[in-house]
A and B are shown apart, each in its own frame.
Chain A
Amino acid sequence: MSNSLHMGVFMKYKERRVSSAAGQLYSWLTAAVVTAVCLLILLTVFIMGKEVLSLDFLTKEPNPSVMDTENTGGISTPIVGTVLLTLIGIAIAFPISLATAIYMTFYRKNGLAAQGLSLAIDVLSGVPTIVIALFSLAIFTNPAFTFLSTPVQNDGGIIEKAYGRSFLVAGLAMAIMILPFVVKAMSEALRAVPRAYMDGSMALGADKWRTICKIALPASTRGIVTGIILGMGRIMGDTAIVWLALGGTLRMTGEQPWFSPDNWLSTLRNTGSTLTSYIYYTSPAGEGNNLSVAFGAALVLILIIILLNAATALLGRAGKNEEEGK
């Protein structure tokens, strides 16, 4: 009797050991698969893309490659386009997001308006970027927004509508797209400011706004910058908005030379390409059917994003050391 009871306990123990070993194996395997997929993508892009990587590739302007696949040129304007669009998008989104985050963290009261704002941010973060692009196209082709892109005239020379595709328009659409993510990241950073700092400063008679400016913002700089970098990464990786709102051109279409300081406004009001749209055009899905340059551009894009992420990680580590007083 006691022996069978003993056996029962032993069996149970054995079963448990088997199931926990299986669980461990399963989680280990999935971790391995995730790592492998990541490495596989990176490796593929690297191997396929490194062939075309050269100084010429980085500094020459792209050529249409439908006819002449040997003479595709480089990716200088897509790189500039990516950087330009990222800067415009973040420049528009940063002040709005920071102010919104400050409101949400320090000023909101639990009313209908505050709940509406939270809901709006959640919904906005779920809107597909192609829908945002479509929306921006609908809005910014209105003749009132001609100053953001270029006028489209009818036969009589009367301005019918705006072209609605330009760096400025795409930058605005990008800003809308990243707004919810940046607001969330910044709110989190501000919420992490210790209550004691706020209490202490207020108890010393500093008013709320001064406390936010002098204490909360400096204490959360790291989180705020992380939010900015997060937003930049999203802009760099997006294709749908570029495709619809920046226009389907490989080169810069403003007054030439586009890089001349005299033509900066014209460049911003006209179309161009980014690394993501360049990859699309040159891929078999686009017009180019030129995989090797697509992979070259993909490699450059991934390197930029990895560098950006490394910067965030470094920033995080530096901040941690500072807090520990090293």
Chain B
Amino acid sequence: MNIDFVNVSARYGDKQVLYNVSLSIPYRSVYALIGPSGCGKTTLLRSINRLNDLIPGFALSGEIIIRGEPVYAMKNKRQIQNLRLKTGMIFQRPNPLPMSVMQNMIFPYMEHIHASLPEARRLAEEKLRVVGLYDEIKDRLNKPAYMLSGGQQQRLCIARSLMLPTDILLMDEPCSALDPISTFKIEDLLSGIKKNHTIIMVTHNTEQARRISDYTAFFYMGRLIEAGSTLQIFSAPKQELTQKYITGRM
């Protein structure tokens, strides 16, 4: 049940952004993708649920295999939709949809799972508790989601993806727009979610990668430079580039 990248190369039109990346991500781990801006880590992340397909000119060669299924061999829309259902995604900027907190929570659920409204609401409350948001905002469930603070919005987005039968959570610098306390709350939350999710996180914050991830992969200019256990990468990096980056000399 690993997520395997096999010789993945990707380009936007003429611009190649990933070169022959091969990487295996173990199930139920927190995997950090680090590297300087423009190194291709976000492209790799967005390739996992085929969200890059929406960008004109995007092309990927190689294969990504999830749950034994080759993702880029999927031709059927339904299959891709199913893939996205099981793969939650958290973006750099919190992106609650323009509706109330509760509607945000039940929107994906009602779209895909034919459930009764009370059941959906019950589940929504349960998931809001998981992210520690329920007690904070229980009087504001019917208020527009953008009235929450940035950190609360991000936790709402995490709770929202938990409404679906996800077992993979993709996070694209989920804390870079948040204050330290909100960041701490989210990092804290991940250790719980990790019990039944594989979490892949792009981060610019090497300290964050060190604190919360089990494994780390370092990318530079579209190439995977080094991957391994976080302990090893941060204490005894094999590559000079990696060492330079994690010590902040790049």
The interface of chain A, by Cβ under 8 A from chain B, is 109-110, 194, 196-207, 210, 214-215, 218-219, 323, 325
Contacts and interface: CB of A to CB of B under 8 A. Distances in A.
Summarize A's interface: helix, strand, loop or mixed.
helix
B146 A204 contact: no
Of A110, A200, A201, A323, the most chain B CB neighbours within 10 A belong to A200
A200 B91 contact: yes
B97 A109 contact: no
Contact of B160 (A202, A204, A325): A204
24 contacts: A196-B91, A196-B93, A196-B95, A197-B95, A197-B97, A199-B54, A200-B89, A200-B91, A200-B96, A200-B97, A203-B51, A203-B87, A203-B91, A204-B107, A204-B108, A204-B111, A204-B164, A205-B82, A205-B85, A205-B111, A218-B98, A219-B98, A323-B146, A325-B144
B66 to A, nearest CB: 14
A197 B146 CA distance: 12
Contacts, number: 66
B157 interface: yes
B161 interface: yes
Contacts of A323: 146
B56 A110 contact: yes
Pick from A194, A196, A205 the residue with the most CB of B within 10 Å: A205
Contact of B108 (A109, A199, A205): A205
Nearest to B98: A219
B11 interface: no
B112 interface: yes
A207 to B, nearest CB: 6
Nearest to A106: B54
B108 A206 contact: yes
Interface in B50-79: 51, 54, 56, 77
A107 B133 CA distance: 37
A215 B108 CA distance: 12
A109 B98 CA distance: 27
